[in-house]
Amino acid sequence: DVQVVESGGGSVQAGGSLRLSCAASGFTFDTYDIGWFRQAPGKRREGVSLVSCNDGTTYFTDAVKGRFTISCDSAKNTVYLQMNSLKPEDTAVYYCATWHSGLFNLSTLATMLSRTPDFAYWGQGTQVTVSS
pLDDT at position 51 is: 97
Burial pattern 77-103, b for ≥16 Cβ within 10 A else e, equals: bbbbbebeebeeebbbbbbbbbbebee
Q: 25 - beta bridge partners?
A: 3
Question: What's the pLDDT at 53?
Answer: 95
pLDDT, averaged in runs of 10, over the chain (132 residues): 96 98 93 96 96 95 98 96 98 97 91 89 97 96
Output the CA–CA distances (angstroms, integers) from residue 71 to 14, 17, 56, 74, 81, in the order listed.
Answer: 23, 16, 9, 10, 7
Question: Do the bridges between strand 78-83 and strand 57-60 make them parallel or antiparallel, or are there none, so unpaired?
Answer: unpaired
> Which pLDDT value is given to residue 103?
81
- Identify the pLDDT of residue 117: 85
The secondary structure of 24-45, three-state, reads EECCCCCCEEEEEEEECCCCCC
Look at the alpha carbons of 32, 36, 37, 39 in this order and tell me if their dihedral is positive or negative.
positive
Those residues whose C-beta lies under 8 Å from the C-beta of residue 6, and which sit 6 or more positions away, are: 20, 21, 22, 94, 95, 96, 123, 124, 125, 126
